[in-house]
Amino acid sequence: MLGAMAGAPFLSLPAMARGNILNAMMPAEPGTLCYPLLNTRLVQQICGNIQESLLLLDWNFKPQPNLARSYTITPDGLAYVFQLQPDVRWHDGHPFTARDVVFSCDQMLRQLNPRSRNAFNNCQSIRALDKLTVEFRLKQPFNAFLLSLMASNAPIMPAHIYEGSDYRSNPHNFSPIGTGPFKFARWERGQYIRLTRNPDYWRPGFPKIDDIYFRICPTPEQRMVAMETGAVDIALADDIDTVVSSRLRANPHIVASTHGYEGVGEIAVLEMNQRRWPFSDRRFRQAFMHALDRDFIVKAINFGQGKVASGPIPSAAPYYDGQAVSRYPYDPNRARALLDEMGLKPGAGGVRHRFSFLMIPDGDGIQTRGAQYVRQAASEVGLDIELQSSDWASFAHRTGNWDFDMDNNSYGEYGDPAIGTARFFVSSNIRKGVPQSNIQGYRNREVDALFARAATAIAPREAQEIYSRLQQILTRDVAMLWLFERDPMLYYNRRVHDLVTGPNGPTDGFGHTWLSGAA
């Protein structure tokens, strides 16, 4: 494992010989490797090598074959029929069949995954026509249906492993089985997760790497030194702190790329538990937005990487409407006036209200610095915040079970608001025990109806009108506190080639990646 001293080099790990081994890193240990249960970026980037999806996206966001070799759509847009790849086997030797797809999409993902759940709830039926054919029959047209089937939204899981079990406690959550190019090999707690080449992979000639190690590097300094010294080959989004990113961009042995996260459309946010007062009062949420200098967050805390967010849809994404959003410029006096208006007057020591802030674990990176700034800014308007640290398992458990006042996170749109945005605001996605859903408890009947209409709108103009109205309502309500649009960077050693092959980036796995100079 890494030395205790910040910036210390790797000590003893069993596979540091270069060879045909890809060394990656993790800022923290994941709480699980059950892909649908905890669909964070960290889990995506590990499990994207193990589990696969029916389709992949090319750089033009067009669906391409994967576990589904082809598909047809009926003229009315209500039935999608997928022909599956033949002769695919799970890592334990069981054959992959239509049963796995039906189980994953109709049961496991529908229950656990907050993004694909929206898509599959639009299905009237999901059934196997034969061992290699699956039909999805929709209740009404759903214009983002194919996008919802990409890897980070709908990983296909083994029915023979999970069917009839308690998904949350299944032992294979810590030793996953998939159909992908790499097999789970070992989880050495506190040190690394090792994946090894699947010799029976269904794509001939792939993968081209023998092993992947995801090594735990808990501090920004350690991750920086690991990249500079070549101890690891790649740094994925969230690995390298923006404080030191300029050093890597200047390193001639390292490629710094913004490609690989185009399919995400990510916004850093604060979430408030709206079941609790005063978070239930939108004036409090509006006041909090006015108390934050989000331009300072981007420039001074994230070192210019990104831009201030104005609402739930990223500014570069389809359907964004800058004229529809309510804006909240930095204005502490306005924040104080709103707090006064709702009866939160200063008490002893000038404190109006005390509450806690559950911080997402990021190893003292941008999210931690951001939380520290938020605490300071809130104190200027009389709000006293207690910062609470956590690991991934406890963070997911507490937020999924609504055991928090406020937290921070970052979420992606994943190609369409119907997939990545609606999940946080529709009341049907308030599901206790499921993180990354509508954990805030936001309820608005008009918002529910509008998201349902937008997802089934055929004409782009109709969809735009609906999404414009949604942006108007959600920003008026401050249904979530949007901070800034993220612009993640990907860093890799020049010996690494074909690291990403589409806008879903590392989430699609490293099956095509190869290493120059590998033995």
pLDDT, tens only, 51-81: 999 999 888 888 999 999 999 999 999 999 9
- What local confidence, expressed as pLDDT, does residue 495 receive? 94
Q: How confident is the model at residue 2 (pLDDT cuts 50, 70, 90)?
A: very low
* pLDDT at position 11 over 60: no
309 in Cβ contact with 268 (< 8 Å): yes
Q: Which of 291, 298, 282 is nearest to 332 (CA)?
A: 291
341 in Cβ contact with 333 (< 8 Å): no
- What local confidence, expressed as pLDDT, does residue 28 receive? 84
CA distances from 157 to 176, 201, 298, 367, 431 (A): 9, 16, 39, 31, 21
* pLDDT at position 433 over 70: yes
Spell out a b/e string for 404-439, using b for 16 or more CB atoms within 10 Å of the CB, else e.
bbbbbbbbbbbbbbbbbbbbbbbeebbbeebbbbbb
Q: Which of 122, 129, 50, 151 is nearest to 83 (CA)?
A: 129
Q: Tens digits of per-residue pLDDT, 280-329?
A: 999 999 999 999 999 999 999 988 888 999 999 999 888 999 999 999 99
Q: Where in the chain is the domain with CATH 3.10.105.10?
A: 266-485
pTM score over 0.75: yes
Least confident stretch, 91-105, 193-207, 224-238, 250-264: 250-264
Residue 484, SS3 per DSSP: strand
Q: How confident is the model at residue 379 (pLDDT cuts 50, 70, 90)?
A: very high
> How far apart are alpha carbons 52 and 217 in whole angstroms?
27
* pLDDT at position 215 over 80: yes
Residue 86 or residue 260, greater confidence: 86
- What local confidence, expressed as pLDDT, does residue 361 receive? 86
Q: What percent of the chain has pLDDT over 70?
A: 96
Evaluated on CA atoms 127, 130, 131, 136, the torsion sign reads negative
Contacts of 292 (CB under 8 A, 6+ apart): 330, 374, 377, 481, 483
* pLDDT at position 124 over 90: yes
* pLDDT at position 170 over 90: yes
Q: How confident is the model at residue 18 (pLDDT cuts 50, 70, 90)?
A: low
* pLDDT at position 275 over 90: yes
Q: How confident is the model at residue 8 (pLDDT cuts 50, 70, 90)?
A: very low
* pLDDT at position 1 over 80: no
112 in Cβ contact with 103 (< 8 Å): no
Round the average pLDDT of the chain to a whole number and report it: 91
- What local confidence, expressed as pLDDT, does residue 12 receive? 35
Q: Where in the chain is the domain with CATH 3.40.190.10?
A: 21-34+41-50+180-262+489-515
- What local confidence, expressed as pLDDT, does residue 15 receive? 41
Evaluated on CA atoms 473, 476, 480, 482, the torsion sign reads positive
CA distances from 501 to 132, 413, 497, 508, 517 (A): 27, 20, 10, 8, 21
Name the strands in the sheet holding 79-84, side by side, starting at the edge strand that comes first in the sequence.
68-73, 79-84, 133-138, 123-130
Helix (H) or strand (E) holding 357: strand 353-358
What is the fold of 21-34+41-50+180-262+489-515? D-Maltodextrin-Binding Protein; domain 2 (3.40.190)
9 in Cβ contact with 225 (< 8 Å): yes
CATH of segment(s) 55-162:
3.90.76.10
Three-class DSSP labels, 74-117 = CCCCCEEEEEECCCCECCCCCECCHHHHHHHHHHHHHHHCHHHH
Task: Return the bridge partners of 383, or none.
Answer: 353
Q: 278: cis peptide before it, omega within 30°?
A: yes
Q: How confident is the model at residue 10 (pLDDT cuts 50, 70, 90)?
A: very low
Residue type at 471? Q
Q: Which parts of 313-459 fold into alpha helices (H)?
A: 332-341, 366-379, 392-400, 417-420, 445-456
Residue 467 or residue 117, greater confidence: 467
Q: Tens digits of per-residue pLDDT, 315-343?
A: 988 899 999 999 999 999 999 999 999 99
First to last CA, the chain: 25
Residue 115: phi and psi, rounded to 5, are -85, -55
Look up residue 353 and give its two tokens: 């209200």
Q: How confident is the model at residue 456 (pLDDT cuts 50, 70, 90)?
A: confident
- Selected from 3.40.50.620, 3.10.105.10, 3.40.50.720, 3.10.20.90, the CATH number assigned to the domain covering 266-485 reads 3.10.105.10
Q: Where in the chain is the domain with CATH 3.90.76.10?
A: 55-162
* pLDDT at position 14 over 50: no
> How far apart are alpha carbons 259 and 264 in whole angstroms?
11
> How far apart are alpha carbons 313 and 412 in whole angstroms?
9
- What local confidence, expressed as pLDDT, does residue 518 receive? 64
What is the mean pLDDT of the segment spanning 112-138? Answer: 91
